[in-house]
Structure 1
């Protein structure tokens, strides 16, 4: 029996249950405390089912990261860079509690496990960077910012970095209000942009619009 045939026995809904259980356990106790037995107990299945589907813990975590990430930033396109970045702040702020906790739970283990590090980058980091870089490219094409603006290449690093850093520096998550203030104080001036009510309104509509 091939791996593909074995996978067909698990429905997508059941697979998602396994993924969510694994990530919830990661947030609660960290990577070292996560076990296949714990996931099996939480999802009320035999651990042999998990081992047939994902032979190791890193493989399960990698699959969970890839299978549950919502590429919300990739859908943002308000028509202006200000609106796009404000929408990104709304999206990142809404998920900062769960995602930041997950990143902290995985970061140390990932440095010691190349397979886990690849999964972390592919599922969480690279899609965010690509989405923000696409916002910058669209802004350059529209003439909102100059192609040689030296601040443009650092926008993704700044926005993603502050989401990860605030819990360590201040003990609080980077919510929408904090990220909006960060954009207006640090990123918009460097890009030569100034936020206004229209940009904020467009950003909110972009985040709440059905997809």
Structure 2
């Protein structure tokens, strides 16, 4: 292919931000309607009248496309939190989780099931969606250590992110225990903050 032809082909396949959002909406709609198995490159291409080759060129694989759509559709939970104290940061993190709870249940259920059974999706989600949230929590903890609030050798530091994010995954398994209650503030005051040597946030 000549240089001119290659340039023209690249121009034709370039995806605008508006077009990208349209493609992401199609992915999320397919997830809600039929779960992860219902999402195919062919299905997204047909629904959006986009060339399948363009999807592969832009995202390479289905898991990459799905995780990109999920990342674009949600604001980070913890990225903007900085209250000046670790108890304040963790309380704000708990409130952020509570604010997200119950939104788009069908989508979260579909992704949660697929996460268990598709290692390629699991790897992509960890990289694109989960790792930034863990990094934001770890940054809260780093600031607390720098301020002298928490000892850097405290073993509980490594459990804060797993606890905060883990509650999102297992809360429904214990819904009878937590009926009518928000478990995260209790987790903070009864478990995490004492383990970190800090007073309750409330």
In structure 2, the gaps of 5 or more residues are: 1-5
- Pick the aligned partner of 1:58 from 58, 63, 66: 63
Deviation at 1:57, TM superposition (A): 3.1
Contact 1:72 1:91 in 2 (8 A): yes
How far apart in 2 are the matches of 1:142 and 1:103?
A: 36
Separation in structure 1 between the aligned mates of residue 19 and residue 180 of structure 2, nearest angstrom: 32
Q: CA deviation at 1:196?
A: 4.4
Q: Distance in 2 between matches of 1:71 and 1:14?
A: 23
Which has the higher mean CA deviation after the structures are superposed, 32-41 or 176-185?
Answer: 32-41
TM-align CA RMSD: 3.2
- Residue of structure 2 equivalent to 1:93: 98
Q: Cα distance 1:122–1:85, how it changes in 2: closer, same or farther (>3 A)? A: same
Q: In the alignment, what sits opposite 1:209?
A: none
Residues 154 and 196 in structure 2, CA contact (< 8 A), matched pair in contact too:
yes
Partner of 2:162: 157
Q: Tell me the CA shift for residue 13 of structure 1.
A: 2.1
Q: Which runs of 5+ in 1 are unaligned?
A: 198-211
Contact kept? 1:96, 1:173, Cα under 8 Å:
no
Distance (whole Å) between structure 1 residues aligned to residue 127 and residue 200 of structure 2 = 32
Aligned equivalent of 2:48? 45
TM-score, normalization by structure 2: 0.78
Q: Does 1:27 align with 2:32?
A: yes
In the alignment, what sits opposite 2:182?
Answer: 177
Aligned partner of 2:124 in structure 1 is: 119
1 CA distance for matches of 2:95 and 2:13?
36
Higher relative contact order (CA 8 A, sep 6+): 1
Q: In structure 2, how many angstroms separate the alpha carbons of the residues matched to 1:80 and 1:17?
A: 40
Pairwise mapping of residues 64-103 of structure 1 onto structure 2 (< 5 A)? 64-98=69-103, 102-103=107-108
For the 8 Å contact 1:26–1:34, the answer to whether it is kept is yes
State the SS of the aligned residue for 1:54.
helix
Of 139, 144, 156, 1:134 maps to 139
What is the TM-score with the length of structure 1 in the denominator?
0.75
